[in-house]
Amino acid sequence: MDNSIYSIIDTGSTALSISALYYESLIVNLFEKAGIDDWKYEQGVIFTKCKYKLPKIFFLLDAYWIEANPKDYMWADWPGNDGGKTCLLFIMPTNSPMNILGMPVHVDYYTVHDPKTGIV
């Protein structure tokens, strides 16, 4: 309604689920910033070489910067992998007007949920 993008933090989600409204722009800018053009989108997943150095991704939520480190959003140990040469990114599109920030933003943090205030 007010042209805002809404995001929620979800410890039950394994990925960063980015609204389809912004997903393509995020992915293109991520690889552009890293100077990498060797990646592919296949069946809703981004694949690239594990040796590549991708940048950290930051999300601003209620005046707090939340960081997703590439070591937490790149995964080499998936079935059918070619010996750790190809990584998949835990950054996936969602057909929703909001982002769902899952485990890649929770790694290395102690997370406390306050059910009374709804604050993480």
Assess if residue 74 is contained within a domain: yes
Assess if residue 116 is contained within a domain: no
The CATH code of the domain that includes 12 is: 2.40.70.10
For residue range 27-55, list pLDDT tens digits in order: 999 999 999 999 999 988 999 999 999 99
Domain total in the chain: 1
Nearest partner of 45 among 98, 94, 95, 93, judged by Cα = 93
* Beta carbons of 29 and 55 less than 8 angstroms apart: no
For residue range 77-101, list pLDDT tens digits in order: 776 777 778 999 999 999 988 899 9
Range of the domain at 84: 6-105
H helices of the chain, where? 23-34, 70-73
Q: What confidence score (pLDDT) does residue 97 get?
A: 85
Whole-model pTM: value is: 0.84
Assess if residue 119 is contained within a domain: no
Helices vs. strands in the chain: H and E counts, helices first: 2, 10
**CB neighbour burial string for 3-14, b if at least 16 within 10 angstroms, e if fewer:** eeeebebbeebe
